């Protein structure tokens, strides 16, 4: 489903910028710079991901509006040598640049606890978001689930550890099988991060990244009052949208 940016195609997205919020892009591919520059001015967030870009290519893209990085460590190459010189890959560039926020798949598997702590130490709470990266089978029993189009790739959801894998490539991960609220239980247990820090990384930080934190991501006067009520086991007990309870008993 990967597409090379084509102005003829992406011009068709213009009427939908009210719902088009974040695009993952490899800035080194032809046409990426033009797309980033055009849609950034319309409020769309661009994120580097599944990319082999050099530091210089990322630097240029940041000047055009690139501001985020998709699932750090996952499909993100590290340092490489060119004419014997070790140069920063996408991973190191993302970590060293203050103008790039990033995100971590918070299932405890895609990125282990010590690396979660490392990214948090480097980027900080306000620039490190937790995401689920959940596949279609999240919350469902183990089995085979579609991954992409109906007749496209398949993904096997296994129970222990609870994650998606590529059926014909043992050991290759294919998204997680958690909900975002699950990370509130997982990350404080496996890392040294406090529950309040994890909570912010799963709520207010993503809202900041999407530039909707004036209304979302925390409880404050004038905001939308979208929030969860958890029980003592950190399981979701109730869901409120704009202050109205939308869950039913049982």
Residue 147 has pLDDT above 90, yes or no: no
pTM equals 0.93
Q: What is the pLDDT of residue 34?
A: 97
Helix (H, G, I), strand (E, B) or coil at 171: coil
Q: How confident is the model at residue 136 (pLDDT cuts 50, 70, 90)?
A: confident
Q: Calculate ∠ Cα 69-23-109, nearest 5°.
A: 45
Range in 35-44, 167-176, 206-215 the model is least confident about: 167-176
Q: What is the pLDDT of residue 200?
A: 97
Query: 77 is written with which tokens?
Result: 């190459």
Residue that the structure tokens 């009052």 belong to: 225
Query: 66 is written with which tokens?
Result: 């690139």
Give residue limits of the domains in the chain.
135-177
156: nearest Cα among 175, 178, 132: 175
Range in 49-63, 71-85, 156-170, 212-226 the model is least confident about: 156-170
Helix (H, G, I), strand (E, B) or coil at 73: coil
107: nearest Cα among 163, 51, 173: 163
73: nearest Cα among 39, 10, 122, 5: 122
Residue that the structure tokens 């971590």 belong to: 104
The alpha-carbon radius of gyration of the chain (Å, integer) is 19
Q: What is the pLDDT of residue 159?
A: 84
Helix (H, G, I), strand (E, B) or coil at 190: helix
Query: 13 is written with which tokens?
Result: 């997205």
d(CA 210, CA 200): 14
Residue that the structure tokens 């939908």 belong to: 16
39: nearest Cα among 6, 9, 70, 13: 13
Q: How confident is the model at residue 55 (pLDDT cuts 50, 70, 90)?
A: very high
Residue 168 or residue 16, greater confidence: 16
User: What's the CA dihedral at 82, 88, 90, 94 to 10 degrees?
Assistant: -170
Q: What is the pLDDT of residues 61-111, one digit of tens each?
A: 999 999 999 999 999 999 999 999 999 999 999 999 999 999 999 999 999
Q: What is the pLDDT of residue 138?
A: 87
């Amino acid at each position: 489903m990967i597409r090379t940016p084509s102005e003829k195609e992406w011009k068709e997205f213009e009427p939908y910028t009210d719902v088009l919020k974040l695009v993952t892009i490899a800035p080194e591919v032809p046409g990426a710079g033009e797309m980033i520059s055009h849609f950034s001015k319309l409020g769309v967030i661009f994120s580097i991901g599944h990319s082999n870009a050099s530091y210089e290519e990322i630097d240029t893209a940041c000047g055009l509006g690139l501001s985020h990085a998709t699932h750090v460590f996952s499909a993100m190459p590290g340092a490489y040598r060119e004419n014997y010189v070790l140069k920063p890959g996408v991973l190191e560039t993302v970590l060293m640049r203050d103008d790039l926020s990033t995100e971590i798949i918070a299932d405890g598997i895609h990125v282990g606890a010590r690396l979660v702590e490392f990214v948090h130490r480097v980027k900080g709470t306000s620039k490190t978001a937790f995401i689920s990266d959940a596949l279609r089978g999240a919350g469902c029993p183990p089995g085979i689930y579609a991954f992409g189009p109906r007749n496209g790739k398949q993904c096997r959801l296994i129970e222990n550890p609870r994650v998606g894998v590529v059926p014909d490539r043992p050991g290759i991960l294919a998204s997680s099988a958690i909900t975002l609220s699950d990370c509130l239980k997982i990350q404080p247990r496996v890392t040294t991060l406090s529950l309040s820090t994890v909570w912010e990384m799963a709520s207010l930080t993503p809202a900041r990244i999407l530039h909707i934190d004036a209304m979302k991501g925390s409880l404050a006067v004038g905001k939308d009052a979208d929030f969860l009520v958890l029980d003592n086991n950190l399981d979701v007990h109730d869901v409120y949208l704009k202050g109205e309870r939308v869950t039913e008993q049982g």
